[in-house]
Amino acid sequence: MAAARTDVEEAKIAAKQDVEEAKDAARQEVEAVTAASKLDVKAAMAVAKNDVDEAMLAARKDVEEAKDAAREEVETAMAATKLEISNAMVASQTDVEEAKVAAKKDVEEAKVAASDQMAAAMAATKLDVTAAMVAAKMDVEDAKDAAKIGVEEAKVAASEEIAAAMAVIKRDAEAAMAAAKADVEKAKNAAKTDVEEAKVAARQKTEEAKDAARDEVEAAMAAAQIRKARLAARGDNPERRLRRSVALSAGLPPGKKYHYFLSHKKEHSTLGRQPESLAMALHDAQILEGFVGFFDVDDLKTISLEQLAEDVRSSCALVVVLHDETCASSWCQCEWEAAGLAGIPCLCIVDVNHVCRTKVLEQVKACNPHLMKHQWVSYIDSYRHDASIQITDWLHEHATQG
């Protein structure tokens, strides 16, 4: 077995060597054949190039000869054609002269015949026109007579129709005037009744308005007396002042920079910058009370919406000064939204000297309900000190630690 395996290995090695030798021999033969093929191709290309050059020379020579022959034929044909054209032009000129003479003769003869015919036709036409004018004149006279008779008859008929129509119109007008008079009387009576009823209703509404105004005046006077009593009580209460002083001296709650953020729209389309002046006055009053408040002083020119929202979140409360155009401010809306998301309490002050409180209330209710959670303060010039005290009390309740 070992010997057989050795023989197999040796046979494999010998076969491998034979394969390598066969590959080398085949490679050499391929290279030789490739070299011979290249030489044959080069020789064939040279022969083909010579044949092409010779063929091109022969073709060029044939083309030149063909050109010369064609040129000679064209020149011969042009000379013959020119001769034929000259002969034809001479013959044509002769024919034209003869045709002109014959045509001139025919025209003269035609003129004479036409002149005779026109003279005869004019004579006949003159007779016809004279007869026609006589007949037309007779027809015109007859037509005038007939028209005159027709116009007279039409005048009579129209006069009768106009008289009848006038009678009808007169009757209709009298009837219409009678009906209109009756309608006017009815309208007068109805209007008189309506006026009396309106007077009664107006009198009732006037009495009701007087009663309501009297009630409002009495309520306002009572409220004023109550406010005066409260002011007197606040001013004479040392313990209350001490508690507020202690609460403010204790500082701001952790994470807060301001007791309040004052939100307002500086300009108004008709009031100008009056809203800004009111907001500044309210801010100054609270600063004097010891509060720390945020109040924009440069028309928001150096602050972004993100920074504005951060300042709202850094405040204990939001004080909003409102008029009837505040809800249109995107800056104010951003401040209100930030306060709502952060759960910051809001106090609204309405300038009722210049705007309608109910109108502003409806606007804010539709814009941001978060501002409706606390009782609003109505600012009136004659009670501005009272409004300032109400704001101070509210801030002590919602913006201090005490």
Residue carrying the six token digits 């007859």: 142
348 is a domain residue: yes
Residue carrying the six token digits 């408040």: 293
182 pLDDT band (50/70/90 cuts)? Answer: confident
Contact residues for 370 (Cβ-Cβ < 8 A; gap 6+): 336, 339, 340, 346
Task: Choose between 243 and 304: higher pLDDT.
Answer: 304
Q: What is the pLDDT of residue 357?
A: 93
64 is a domain residue: no
Q: What is the mean pLDDT of the chain?
A: 77
CA dihedral 82, 85, 91, 96 (to 10 degrees): -130
State the Cα–Cα distance between residues 34 and 234, nearest whole angstrom. 123
Task: Choose between 149 and 346: higher pLDDT.
Answer: 346
Q: What is the pLDDT of residue 109?
A: 85
Q: What is the pTM of this model?
A: 0.42
Q: What is the pLDDT of residue 158?
A: 43
Average the pLDDT over 334-361 and give the result. 94
- What domain range includes position 385? 256-398
Q: What is the pLDDT of residue 202?
A: 58
62 is a domain residue: no
Task: Choose between 20 and 15: higher pLDDT.
Answer: 20
State the Cα–Cα distance between residues 360 and 375, nearest whole angstrom. 14
- Give the lowest-confidence range in 142-146, 200-204, 362-366: 142-146
Give the bridge partners for 258, in sequence order.
Answer: 315
Q: What is the pLDDT of residue 349?
A: 96
272 is a domain residue: yes
Task: Choose between 35 and 122: higher pLDDT.
Answer: 35
Instruction: Output the domain CATH number for residue 288.
Output: 3.40.50.10140
Average the pLDDT over 314-338 and give the result. 94
pLDDT at 214 over 70: no
Of 274, 342, 351, 345, nearest to 308 by C-alpha is 342
Task: Choose between 50 and 340: higher pLDDT.
Answer: 340
**CA of 374: how far to CAs of 177, 334, 347, 357, in Å?**
70, 19, 6, 15
- Give the lowest-confidence range in 52-56, 291-295, 321-325, 329-333: 52-56
Task: Choose between 325 and 76: higher pLDDT.
Answer: 325
Q: What is the pLDDT of residue 166?
A: 73
Q: What is the pLDDT of residue 143?
A: 42
Q: CB-side exposure of 108: number of CA atoms within 13 Å?
A: 6
Exposed/middle/buried for residue 311 (C-beta within 10 Å: 0-12, 13-18, 19+): middle
Average the pLDDT over 203-227 and give the result. 58
Task: Choose between 15 and 259: higher pLDDT.
Answer: 259
State the Cα–Cα distance between residues 260 and 291, nearest whole angstrom. 8
Average the pLDDT over 276-302 and give the result. 86
**CA of 155: how far to CAs of 54, 141, 142, 158, 352, in Å?**
121, 21, 20, 5, 83
197 is a domain residue: no
Q: What is the pLDDT of residue 225?
A: 58
- Give the lowest-confidence range in 22-31, 207-216, 308-317: 207-216
Average the pLDDT over 397-401 and give the result. 81
pLDDT at 219 over 50: no
Query: Coil, strand, or helix at residue 264?
Result: coil
Of 345, 354, 296, nearest to 323 by C-alpha is 354
State the Cα–Cα distance between residues 309 and 37, nearest whole angstrom. 91
Q: What is the pLDDT of residue 227?
A: 54
Contact residues for 279 (Cβ-Cβ < 8 A; gap 6+): 262, 264, 266, 295, 321
Quick: pLDDT tens for 382-396. Answer: 888 999 999 999 999
State the Cα–Cα distance between residues 325 and 305, nearest whole angstrom. 20
Of 323, 336, 319, nearest to 390 by C-alpha is 319
286 is a domain residue: yes
110 pLDDT band (50/70/90 cuts)? Answer: very low
107 pLDDT band (50/70/90 cuts)? Answer: very low
30 is a domain residue: no
Task: Choose between 139 and 229: higher pLDDT.
Answer: 139
Structural domains of the chain, count: 1
How many C-beta atoms surround the C-beta of residue 73 within 10 A?
A: 10
308 is a domain residue: yes
Q: What is the pLDDT of residue 345?
A: 95
**What crossing angle do the helices spanning 330-342 and 305-313 adopt, rounded to 10°?**
40
- Give the lowest-confidence range in 5-19, 67-81, 101-115, 276-290: 101-115
